[in-house]
Chain A
């Protein structure tokens, strides 16, 4: 055995090197090909001089054990990039204001998306995330678009924030476009439409599925979007894959635009700009 290794050392080194390279460069490509952060190829939109507000969770721990969580990176960065590329001014806010926790898994080398890469080199955006606005201080009606980012953290605070619910009610009433992806649509639960009915009742919506929550084994969070939205009377739509984290779906119902999970960030952002009266770009 020893002599075998000695004799074939150069070949072994080459094989290990090649395998390493294949995994390093093949895994992200493979995951992308399966559907994780699949590139958006549809029509893109812009709204010059328009304003968008991205709202994130402030919850940074998961369950009893206290594992780190927060917003899922690309659910913040992808819409941010699409809104800015759509020539909009973008503000970032959170339930408690201040530094927004980001799920540490978001920027792992095999998961991070092109917009995450952009975030990691964009000091302006990083600063906005570090010093996020407190939703209580913001007049939502000054924005054309209110976007709710998801991530496990959002399961704790988005769906139970009365302030958020009220402000979305006012923004929606003022004709603005609202929506989000993954756990983000939980933030619509406490909002009401022009008639005072729950905003999501009877509306076509999507969000992260119970199947994906189960598949990823994180069921300890207080709210699960599919369950909660269905309970609130929403017409829940979703697509499925052998693992739902590779599925993608975006639903537009008037001025409510939702995406199933992290894969829908770019598409939802563009459909929101379109719904807000944006032009093709």
Chain B
């Protein structure tokens, strides 16, 4: 504090350090009081409601603690206390970078990472470039030197804020309904996408329960036209949570009629009708058999539809738009492929796959403005798919990891669940192994392989590596294990394949 410029720097850095501390304080109070709101902003809302306990506790403590030592460091003479938030901030950054290296998902917290680097820089500068006692002269950390007036006033204010927020939860909830409700309703995911071909995984799992993957459902968007391939149980909710407007849905394409591919059709058809005041029933494309499926769903939902028309009126829910209409297609004699949709630059080709004893079973190829993606449906390795996938930008192939499924089967046999053990063994003979999918991708020369319909469930990402097994040895391109919320964009004006997070 010998000269003026030094003093200015000193005050400036301490103010900046205080600003960092206030940021942590806001996060800390936020996580403590409105845990899920803050968690949502960081894509970390608890998968199960009871996780709010850990959110409030752990996240609240982390940021409040960082904030406290940050403030003490800049307000009192104990500059060295800044070391505590510096260590934590560094560890947070290390953790994030670890995730970038380890986790094969789009980086959604890039902004947070940048902010953390800036804050780390400020704290380091504040610790090393501001004056204060050093070396032998460093005073002992005493209660008196810590609990000085500004700190006490701050603590009281924080307490008041926390109590205030808890006391006004009703009002905050109401405000959130208006603000978030408006934001959600006006959000138009399709409008924000560049012209091109896009695929979003609303359901990337299988019938076995997987907390990260519901049963198969893929949304394919070409320009502004959205189609759904398969409607596995649980997937309609996922589509809605991804803010895809179901009222705009053009049609549904079914690969085959196993429950995990059709189970949510009733819900999907209803949501599309109610959200868009559609006057035409939803078109459901599929190989022969789709008529039977639609007859059943239309019948099951006929009472519901009547109630809704009676209640909301035909303007809101036009009776002509209720339900779905089957659009069966068959392959001409000796052919294994058929263009089922050709409109607005989008061509959808259905092709035969081998999921015997399930017959018929098909896959779909989408071509739009020079970009292409292929969806396998459920199948064994098959030549028609190899041909259809030739040169595609993206191949979404079903995949089963036999070593893991066999291990699960053995476990079930050991504990006496013979039925489950037998089913696990049976499924080995009509799905494609991960390494086989990789070889198919290599042979077909696709640019990127995404494995979906994953068997067994992979509720923790560390299992993804086990799932892939030796697949990477067989395919020179990038392989990814699908997870609900993940999507890929194939813009029409370049050759990129962009990994995106839709949820």
Contact = CB atoms under 8 A, between A and B. Distances in A.
Nearest to A48: B429
Contact of A279 (B383, B429, B433): B383
Interface in B327-361: 354, 356
A88 to B, nearest CB: 9
Contacts of B381: 46, 279-281
Interface string B422-439: 000100111001001001
A84 B402 CA distance: 10
Interface stretch (B43-51, B266-274, B406-414, B480-488): B406-414
Counting from the closest, the 4 A-B pairs by CB-CB distance are: A87-B429, A281-B381, A281-B436, A48-B429
A122 B410 contact: yes
19 contacts: A46-B380, A46-B381, A49-B429, A85-B402, A87-B380, A87-B429, A118-B403, A122-B410, A123-B410, A123-B413, A123-B414, A124-B413, A279-B380, A279-B381, A279-B382, A280-B383, A281-B380, A281-B381, A281-B439
Nearest to B407: A121
Nearest to B414: A123
Contacts, number: 40
Contacts of B436: 44, 281
Interface string A69-85: 00000000000000011
Nearest to A43: B439
Nearest to A84: B428
A109 B503 CA distance: 48
A10 B414 CA distance: 45
Interface of A: 44, 46, 48-49, 84-85, 87, 118, 121-124, 279-281
B339 to A, nearest CB: 26
A46 B356 CA distance: 14
B410 A121 contact: yes
B406 A48 contact: no
Nearest to B425: A124
Contacts of B414: 123
Nearest to A85: B402
Contacts of B429: 48-49, 87
Range, interface on chain B: 20 to 34
Contacts of A85: 402, 433
Nearest to B409: A124
Interface in B452-488: none
B413 A48 contact: no
Contacts of B382: 279
B406 A122 contact: yes
A269 to B, nearest CB: 16
A44 B402 CA distance: 15
A44 B430 CA distance: 16
Given A85-B402, A87-B428, A48 B410 contact: no
Interface string B348-390: 0000001010000000000000000000000011110000000
A185 to B, nearest CB: 29
A279 B382 CA distance: 8
A46 B439 CA distance: 14
Contacts of A121: 407, 410
A122 B402 CA distance: 13
Contacts of B433: 85, 281
B359 to A, nearest CB: 13
A121 B404 CA distance: 12
Contact of B380 (A44, A48, A118, A124): A48
Nearest to B381: A281
Contacts of B380: 46, 48, 87, 279, 281
Nearest to B429: A87
A279 B406 CA distance: 23
A48 B407 contact: no
A266 B382 CA distance: 21
Most buried by A among B354, B414, B428, B429: B429
Contact of B356 (A48, A118, A122): A48
Nearest to B357: A49
Contacts of A122: 406, 410
Contacts of B410: 121-124
A163 B241 CA distance: 67
Contacts of B402: 85
Contacts of A84: 428
Given A48-B429, A87-B380, A123-B413, 11 more contacts: A48-B430, A85-B402, A87-B428, A87-B429, A118-B403, A122-B406, A123-B410, A279-B381, A281-B380, A281-B381, A281-B436
